[in-house]
A and B are shown apart, each in its own frame.
Chain A
Amino acid sequence: MSGAKALMNSLEKEGVDIVFGLPGGANLPIYDALVDAKFRHVLVRHEQSAAHMADGYARIKRKAGVCLATSGPGATNLITGIATAYADSSPLIAITGQVPLNMIGKDAFQETDIIGVANPCTKYAFQPRYATEIPEVVKKSFYIAESGRPGPVLIDIPKDVQQDVTEIPFPDLIKVRGYKPIVDPDLSNVGKAVELLVSAQQPIIMAGGGVILSGAFSELQAVAELIMAPVVTTFKGKGAFPENHPLAMGPIGMHGHAEANRIILEADCILAVGARFSDRSVGRFDEFGKGMNIIHLDIDPAEIGKNKSVDIAIVGDVKSALRTMAKMLSKVAVKKNTENPWLKRRRELIDYFSQNIKDYPREVTARKALKKLRELLPAESIVTTEVGQCQMWTSLHFDVISPGTFFSSTGLGTMGFGFPASIGAKAARPDVHVVDVAGDGSFNMTENSLAVSVLENLPVIVFLLNNDMLGMVAQWQRTFYDRRYMGVHQKSCPDYVKIAEAYGASGFSVQSMDELEKAIKSALKTEVATVIDIRIDPEEDVYPFVAPGTGLKDMITGA
């Protein structure tokens, strides 16, 4: 059996049903073996998009997505996608071709030390040197990528190793002795946390991406309801908790919901679940959480105390820890009524801030468009975003109802992520609608994935909030640089409806709410990718805003 064939068999054994990639000289043997593989290959138009597609697939399937590229430029093109997955703890397997072993280190044609390049943004990287190692390497890669705190793993396979024909064993069991993800939480710490939570008068839950990664939705809801704690999320955790739930407060952070940013300052005890206290979420580390008891539950021990020292740390799988916590709580928690002062305060803040929203004198604003989308889109649809104002508006104005149906490039903030990732999500869940809420600048970066969406029959909706601007940058220039605009104007180029049509997708240009409603309804019916080009005010700002280097208390609401 050849190394490449062993690779295919190994991927099949891992249950892979789709891979995203693009061939080249150094992975030709892999592509030859793909002809007979049992899973689907999706040809991309740029390797970055292959990584984003595999990432989007992984985030919805909650198992590793796979992307392929050749050596050198193919491999380096993957890097933005790998770094994006790393920043958001997404399980990704990137398989690159490499120059033959005897050429490594000779600066051969299309040789890049991709292991060196990828090191800071992968959980691990392998370079099998014998074809016989391939099955073991693949098995280890999936294990490492998917377990503990998930993340990307690179497999860099020299061409001659792909070609080698030899007897290749397939191991049933593998062991990685230096890798010991902690799964079972320390029960005594869970007990202490329960005591603290029960005695707190103003408890709050901060749910992060870890809740989504472990699929701990019902467990989180159970704990929240037992202690009647309002639930805020980080941006990565958006949709970890149904945003129409009576305890939901939405995301906190730089562009968090005003009421969420406010209530968290008033809490006396915070249960942070699968969250990492990022600067984007909590503002200043030194200010955040002063005078509160902090309970931190996370699967990654290195997150404990990294940004914030805490009172009780629980290391383990979020789902099993919350389940245990709910069990303990159900024995001791006294059912609080919904009229208690803390929940009244929650209502008060929501009412106050809902009256204090800056509006724009234009028929279609980002806010109104997103509310309309929510109204028309079935709850179980999957929504992702690009990066910039479009992303933050989605966080603010689009409520995720069905847990785990929202994701975005939150850690790295990669423009161009959303569209290919939505195609990957569609591959994972062909039965539901998938929408990418896009900005014009971001969509422009990976719009060539329209070819993939159309040809591979993976239709998604691009909900393009077109301000003809690199809007988020423009907002900062408006706010912090005295409106001295530089490098932000898109000058109505290209015409996105024509772009859609050029690829065989459908496109709508929208100027009124009426047209928007029609376009959404039609997109939900068609079988082909649709770009809805929604013209909005180039100066519509995102508020609230917690400026960098300031604390949540310094939030500017803009109203």
Chain B
Amino acid sequence: MSSRELKSKPLYIISSLVENKPGVLFRITNLFRARNFNIESITVGITEKPDLSRMTITTRIDEAILDQLVKQLRKLIDIVEVEVLDINNTVYRELALIKIRAKDFTNRNEIINFANVFRANILDIGKESVTVEVIGTPDKIDAFKNLIIQYDIVEMARTGVSALQRGE
């Protein structure tokens, strides 16, 4: 699938609680590979309960495949809970660190201005580059990236999406 085709599909966020023990992530990623599921991002971290981790998966796939993906995840014994979040009723964020080439003063100023507009933070300024931290939805990060791409991105690290259903 081309990246354009992918972008035309809706973003789904799957949130799950998984056993916090060794081998679990392996089983999950192996499932994606074996069944050919296309995953955009996956994040795993601890939760309020020490024996459970929360795993958040984002993907752009057809609904029928999403249905299979969720069912196959549910079948994994180490997965305790799986749900597809309703995007309209969910807070979700991603963090990106972007190191941008900026050799002269004007460049640097421009980048800092863009960063301000996006409420991004400047984490580091070196002789040759500026490192920016952007937090937001994946779309917002994409928009920022598209703006500064003219300056040449040296390196980028994105965390993938973390998400929670909104409170009542």
Contacts and interface: CB of A to CB of B under 8 A. Distances in A.
Residue of B19, B26, B68, B79 with highest tally of chain A CB at under 10 A: B68
A302 B77 contact: no
Contact of A179 (B18, B67, B77): B77
B72 A178 contact: no
A490 interface: no
B158 to A, nearest CB: 28
A309 interface: yes
Interface in B49-76: 64, 67-68, 71-72, 74-76
A111 interface: no
A53 interface: no
Given A302-B72, A309-B64, A124 B77 contact: yes
B70 to A, nearest CB: 9
B94 interface: no
Contacts of B68: 302, 305-306
A304 B75 CA distance: 13
Nearest to B18: A178
B157 interface: no
A144 B77 contact: yes
Contacts of B72: 302
A222 interface: no
B80 interface: yes
B47 interface: no
Interface stretch (A40-48, A113-121, A383-391): A113-121
Contacts of B18: 178
Interface in A218-235: none
B27 A119 contact: yes
Contacts of A178: 18-19, 76-80
B37 to A, nearest CB: 13
B23 interface: yes
State which size class the interface on B falls in: 10 to 19
A106 interface: no
A25 interface: no
B30 interface: yes
A123 B71 CA distance: 15
A117 to B, nearest CB: 11
A305 B68 CA distance: 8
A115 B23 contact: yes
Contacts of A144: 77
B34 interface: yes
A304 B74 CA distance: 13
Interface in A118-137: 119-120, 123-124
Given A115-B23, A302-B72, A305-B67, A123 B77 contact: yes
Contacts of A305: 64, 67-68
Contacts of B30: 119-120
A300 B23 contact: no
Contacts of B26: 116, 119
Contact of A302 (B19, B64, B71, B80): B71
Nearest to A125: B23
Contacts of B75: 300-302
B149 to A, nearest CB: 40
Contacts of A176: 77
A416 B74 CA distance: 34
Interface string B72-107: 101111111000000000000000000000000000
Contacts of A123: 77
A290 interface: no
A307 B34 CA distance: 16
B69 to A, nearest CB: 10
A305 B65 CA distance: 9
Contacts of A120: 30, 34
A156 to B, nearest CB: 11
A491 interface: no
Contacts of A306: 68, 71
A335 interface: no
B74 A301 contact: yes
22 contacts: A116-B26, A120-B30, A124-B77, A144-B77, A176-B77, A178-B19, A178-B76, A178-B79, A178-B80, A179-B77, A301-B71, A301-B74, A301-B75, A302-B71, A302-B72, A302-B74, A304-B71, A305-B64, A305-B67, A306-B68, A306-B71, A309-B64
4 residue pairs, one from A and one from B, having the closest CB atoms: A302-B71, A178-B80, A179-B77, A124-B77
Given A115-B23, A119-B30, A178-B19, 19 more contacts: A116-B26, A119-B26, A119-B27, A123-B77, A176-B77, A177-B80, A178-B76, A178-B79, A178-B80, A301-B75, A302-B71, A302-B72, A302-B74, A302-B75, A304-B71, A305-B67, A306-B68, A306-B71, A309-B64
